[in-house]
Structure 1
Amino acid sequence: MNAAKRRAIFERLREDNPQPTTELLYDTPFQLLIAVLLSAQATDVGVNKATRRLFPLAPTPEAMLALGEARLTETIQTIGLYRTKAKNTLATCRILVEQHGGEVPQSREALEALPGVGRKTANVVLNTAFGQPTIAVDTHIFRVANRTRLAPGKDVREVEDKLTRFTPPEFRLDAHHWLILLGRYVCKARKPECARCPIQDLCEYPAKPV
C-alpha cells in the first residue's frame, strides 16, 4: 500500500470519527491503567461492568491496597483470570505507592515494570492518559492492519512498528482508537461488514466483495 492511500484511509477515519477514544470507563490515569490491566482476554463491556463497582470503592492505589485481595477478587470475579488480575493489581498498586508517589509513571520502561503490564497496556496508557502518539496493537488492530494491507506483519510488534512508521504524524495519536473501533464493529474477524466500511474502496483485502 502506498503512502497516499494510507493517508486517505486515515483522513477517511478522521472524517467518520473526529474524536475517537477508548470505550473503557475511567476518571484518572490510575483508573485507566487498572481498567486496561483487567481487560486482557476480556471485553470492554465486561471490564466496565466490574469497574463500575470497583472504582467507587477504590479510586486510588492507596484505596485499592486498603480494599485487600479478598474484597478485590470478589469485586472483579465476573472478569476472566480475575484471581491473577487481582494479585497483579495489588502488586502494581504497591509499586505505584512505594516507588512513584501513588502516581502512574509516564515512561514506557516504568510502566512495563509493573506486574501484569506489557507493551500493549503501556502503549494504551501512554496514548490515552498522557497524549503520547503510541499505537497499541491488539487482535483487532492486528487483523485490520493485515487484512487491509495498511501495515501487514507476522506479529503484533511488527505491525506496531510499521504502523508507527507509516502513519502520518498528524494521525498517530488517534490511529489506535480508529483502527480498534473499525476492527471491533466493522472489520470483524469472522465476517467483515465491507458494505458499511468507511474505507472499503481504499482497502486492499483480496477477499472483499467487489
Structure 2
Amino acid sequence: MPNTPGMNSANGKKYALLDYDQVTEKGLKPFIDALSKAGLTVENVDASNRATTVNGIKVKTAVLRFQDQQEVKVSVNDTGDITGFKLNGKSIPVQHASALTDIASSLATVVKQNSRKFTDSLAKKAKKVIDTSNTGVAVKSNVLRLKEAKARRDQLNVNVSSLTASNAKAQQQSAGIKQRIAAQQTRLNTAQALTTQLQNQLKTLEDQNAA
C-alpha cells in the first residue's frame, strides 16, 4: 500500500511521508504544491522512479529545479521518509515534521536565502570564462583559440536562452516577484554582454585565422 503524507515513519514517530511507489512529478505534486505555497516555484522535475540501494536500504531520488536555476535533490527511502536534501550538490539538513507544508517551508527558506549567493557564483564563473580566454594567448594557435572561443560562445548562447525563458515566465508573475524579475534581467544583461564580447573576440580570431 503506498505511503501517504502524515503516516507513521519507520521509527514510530509521525512524520509527513512521500509516496515511495510514485517518486515522479505526479507523485511529488503534494510536495511541489507545498513548495509553491511557500513561495518557491518548481520549474522542472527529473524523477525516474528508479530505486538504488544505499547501505542496504532502497532509495529513490528526484531533482527539483527552480526559477533561479538552483536545484534540490530529494532522497526518499522505501518507507516514504525523506532521508536527504542536496542543494546544488551540497547536503542540507532535513526538517522532519508531521506536515509536508512545514518541510516545504523550511526547504524554501534555505533555497531562497542561497539564491543571491548562487547567482553571484554564476556571474563569477561567466567572468572567469572571459578572463581565461586571454590567458596564454601567445602559446596557442589561432585554430585552437578559435575553437575554444566558439565553444564558449555557444555555451553563453545557451545561458542567454535559458535566462530569457526564465525572465519571460517571471514577467507573467504577480507584482510580488518584481525583485526576482529585476535579478533575472540583470543576469540576462550580463550574459548578453559577455556574449557580445565573445562575438567580437571570435571575429578577431576568425580574421587572424583567415589571414
Same fold (TM over 0.5): no
Higher strand share: 2
Normalising by structure 1, report the TM-score: 0.26
| Structure having greater relative contact order (Cα 8 Å, sep ≥ 6) | 1
Larger Rg: 2
